[in-house]
A and B are shown apart, each in its own frame.
Chain A
Amino acid sequence: MSDTGTSDVIGRRVEVNGELATVRFSGIVPPVAGLWLGVEWDNPERGKHDGSHEGTVYFKCRHPTGGSFIRPNKVNFGIDFLTAVKNRYILEDGPEEDGKEQVVVIGNKPVETIGFDSVIKQQSELSKLQDISLRSCAVSGAGDKGGIAKACPNIRKIDLSKNLLSSWEEVICIADQLQHLEVLNLSENKLKFPSVSPPLTGTFSSLKVLVLNRTGITWAEVLQCASAWPVLEELYLESDNICISERPTDVLQMVKLLDLSSNQSIDENQLFLIAYLPRLEQLILSNTGISSIHFPDAEIGCKTSMFPSLQYLVVNDNRISQWSFINELEKLQRLQALSCLRNPLTAASPDSKEAQTTRQLIIAKIGQLKTLNKCEVLPEERRGAELDYRKAFGSDWKKAGGHQDPDKNRPSEDFLAAHPRFQLLCLKYGAPEDAEFQIQQPFMLKNQLLTLKIKYLNEMDQKVLEKQLPDSMTVQKVKGLLSRLLKVPVSELQLSYESPKVSCPAKCKANPSSPLLASDSSCLPVTLTANGITCLPGSVPVVLFLTGRVHRTCFVRSVLILSPSTFVLILDAGQRNYTRK
């Protein structure tokens, strides 16, 4: 193939029967005569030894069976860039034969082709090619200087993945000749990167996308080379065993997308080093084994200054098992989309009830999230999720010191740390009522009954009647029942009730907040709309107030506490135009 005599082959990438390897040794291996190349295979199972033969160490391998000795004539050292382009895009047959297209017959049926002539013609005009792919074409170098610039100067996108490029300098030689290069894919080339910053030549002046998946590049090398990528927007570093070791200063400032998936050694401390990239919008951390994150600069409920532009975060296939991870994400200023699939936290099968609950919790915990696992979060879904969350953790909140009265509301630090948005949600929807904490009972008549305490205020002794009624009973029916019980005509019955949410005894006199009149058509429990309370769940004891006469004109006659949970009685005379004071 090419010269193999001297030591300059060491470090070169070679291909042998489709397997890729790096040359580590060249010379004589006694007792067998002749020149041998010692190679380290990319696939460690392909080799036989670790570079030593009969006790002599010729070269070293990372893997004990990663090495082999091979005769130089069996090794393909690769071809130059331009030859590869020509091989791929220009038919070997040349123009003489192009009239007769080869007809492929498969089985006993020919394959008809359409438009192949024109495609071949178009592709063979190398100077017009913009987007080329040379994957697995055994490209090892740039070839003659200036040759690429002359033949195909318009290239904007190159896929050079899985080739035999051995060093970053070769890449520079190729890229140097391509003024318009915007997308460069160098995946699966085991490149040797320079240890010092290469001189700035303006080679990658328009490069926007760089793909370095499975190249074995280190973070330090990325930073060394990065000064040459002034406008780079997307950087892909999948499966590179990256360990972020230092903070990028003055480089990578334009990067919008960073793919760090399948780098198993990334942890939260390393992420802080890239936390101040000003434009980073999308961060892909799939399959990195990350399990926790904590932004130390922000208190609970505050926003962090880290990742100032981050909009989309992908943390699929990780080891996230704690809700604190999700709580911390709430601190990001711009986070709009999250993908968090196949983590211990979200591992339940996707259609199950638990998965739904997990989704709801994530939505409730991250306020500005617009897309979760690629599904849009619609306003109704958010509202439902937040209400459920508020209810589900209401009793914890109460135990931790929460209180419906804002003055007494002192939830513990622990609770706030576990539920940073809870207080905010209480403000948004009102604090949860005691009755909401009750766990739903199985469906039995016994559990469906409400205990009503009924007071007939016209009677001087104010005797309290207690009745158990099903919650599906309409007010009309209740009135009928009461009229029979109390022997008052239905038309003269006026019911009113109040829940502790609406007013508390102390404030009642000052502000007789309107007792909500139960209308005949509504069910018991009646929906309350004042002060943001939407409904009373099933088993709230409701207190009814009765007046026999319609023409009474007092607003608040008496206030009574019936139980420790401060039920308030307000007597209303039932005049039509009830006015608030």
Chain B
Amino acid sequence: MTLLMLSKNTCLVLTYNGLFQRECLSIHIGQAGIQIGDACWELYCLEHGIQPDGILLDSKQHQLENANMEHMSTSFNTFFCETRAGNHVPRALFMDLEPTVIDGIRTGKYRSLFHPEQLVSGKEDAANNYARGRYSVGSEIIDLVLERIRKLAEQCSGLQGFLIFRSFGGGTGSGFTSLLMEQLSAEYSRKTKLEFAVYPAPRISTAVVEPYNSILTTHSTIEHLDCAFMVDNEALYDICHHKLGVERPSYANINRLIGQVVSSITASLRFEGPLNVDLIEFQTNLVPYPRIHFPMTTFAPIISAEKTYHVQPSVSDITAACFELSNQLVKCNPQLGKYMACCLLYRGDVIPKDVNAAIAAVKSRNSVQFVDWCPTGFKVGVNNHPPEVMPGGDLAKLRRAVCMLSNTTAIVEAWARLDHKFDLMYAKRAFLHWYIQEGMEQGEFSEAREDLAALEKDYEEVGHSS
């Protein structure tokens, strides 16, 4: 039982040294990771006034000087690296086992933002197969990827950690990530590794073997990741469809929404000086045991662009909306579980006293239940910078927004659902030959499945009152 074992990764460097930047490296793996990355960096650039060619927008800088915010001009260097020529290059690596998706970036609007070395693509795809991503195809490219990561890490004065973007269901996202994570945790054992993962949706599915891939990758990366923020396509699809009025949401619509959420989560790392470790502080609260590191994400408000200014949700409105099922980015019912931690990351025009009132109101209205062994309930952070929205996007310009990260035992529902799908196929050994012929052993499947069963059990145990 690994539940009570402290992982080495939880000992984090929490000290902030003003001399060092606390840089974060983003690694985008597979189609989902890359397309989310595209949306994220597009938004980061907008928020920091960086043009598609990497040059800082002059008028914006002028504004900043006006406001006399000297912190701001440097704090986004945690995510961008400034070259001598004055270009700002994202500290990011995009990798895929096949070239078409990355070619989209190579030829897209932001093509000159990235250095060609940051875009790594192979020639043969993983074909939705964990085994190809990890063993046969992935092993050919891993050395190149690690070398590029080393190069990016060398440009940092005080690398804080890695943000990994990927999907559980795809071959590259599942297989290659697990290979990479093993290498990364050997090489950068003391760095934080956070993950944004697209979890297979209950009803929408892109590949029949998604449950295999998800469970294999969860098993092989659970030891190496500190925290994994989950979103699922179905929840996002429903938000786009019902709340944003998108008739048939495409990946582009969904990824913009994910981008907005990721931006809210990372805002504290990108803006202002003294506070830019606070995501790590939140993470300390969010992960009570190393294996229980899958917080659920919720975002509010979600208002469609043509309703801009029709409603102006207050701090209490958006706080209350965080506890509504329709704002969750994972399909599961938190009423059925208990919260272990609940972090609210506000941004924009938010007054601390409003936050306190809003949380008190939520507590009185909702049945927000915490596990009894946890000393604190909510943890709240505020960032001054309002969210930006892409011009012509689906979301309305907001004055304030909140992103809630909550570690709840209810998410076990999502794992149980996945395990069940796995069992249905595995009982008949269906589709197994695709994995075996790439050099995997059947034992790996049963081992992974047992580990997931243990994870379900872990969640059950932490939910029990002592």
Contact = CB atoms under 8 A, between A and B. Distances in A.
Interface of A: 88-89, 91, 102, 104, 106-107, 109-116, 118-120, 122-123, 128, 130-133, 135-136, 154, 159, 161, 185, 187, 211, 213, 236, 238, 259, 261, 284, 286, 314, 316, 339, 341, 350, 359, 372-376
Given A106-B360, A114-B275, A123-B351, A261 B310 contact: yes
Contact of B383 (A104, A115, A284): A115
A112 B285 contact: yes
A253 B330 CA distance: 46
Nearest to A114: B381
A18 to B, nearest CB: 14
A114 B278 contact: yes
A375 B248 CA distance: 6
Nearest to A212: B309
B245 A341 contact: yes
B355 to A, nearest CB: 8
B155 to A, nearest CB: 28
A159 B353 CA distance: 19
A374 B246 contact: yes
Interface string B444-463: 00000000000000000000
A213 B310 contact: yes
25 contacts: A91-B353, A104-B360, A106-B363, A110-B376, A111-B376, A112-B379, A113-B381, A114-B275, A114-B281, A115-B383, A116-B382, A118-B274, A120-B352, A128-B67, A128-B68, A154-B66, A159-B312, A213-B309, A236-B308, A236-B309, A286-B306, A316-B306, A373-B248, A374-B246, A374-B253
A112 B247 contact: no
A261 B396 CA distance: 15
B20 interface: no
Contact of A350 (B247, B355, B363, B399): B247
A196 B13 CA distance: 66
Contacts of A119: 350, 352, 382-384
A402 B331 CA distance: 54
A151 to B, nearest CB: 16
B426 interface: no
Contacts of B312: 133, 135, 159, 161, 185, 187
B375 interface: yes
A375 B252 CA distance: 9
A111 B245 contact: no
A112 B376 CA distance: 7
Contact of A115 (B253, B275, B359, B360): B275
B434 to A, nearest CB: 30
A109 B377 contact: yes
B282 A114 contact: yes
A161 B244 CA distance: 24
B208 interface: no
Q: Which 10 A-B pairs have the closest CB atoms?
A: A109-B377, A373-B247, A114-B381, A374-B246, A112-B379, A106-B363, A111-B378, A116-B352, A211-B309, A133-B349
A109 B375 contact: yes
B374 interface: yes
B148 interface: no
A107 B382 CA distance: 22
B356 interface: yes
Contact of A113 (B68, B241, B272, B352): B352
A111 B353 CA distance: 12
A350 to B, nearest CB: 6
Given A185-B309, A259-B309, A114 B247 contact: no
Contacts of A112: 285, 376, 378-380
A154 B62 CA distance: 13
A284 B306 CA distance: 7
B158 interface: no
Given A123-B384, A135-B314, 9 more contacts: A109-B374, A111-B359, A113-B355, A114-B278, A118-B272, A128-B67, A159-B349, A350-B247, A373-B247
A312 to B, nearest CB: 8
Interface string B339-376: 00000000001111101100110010000001000111
Nearest to B372: A108
B386 interface: yes
Interface in B306-322: 306, 308-310, 312, 314
Contacts of A359: 247
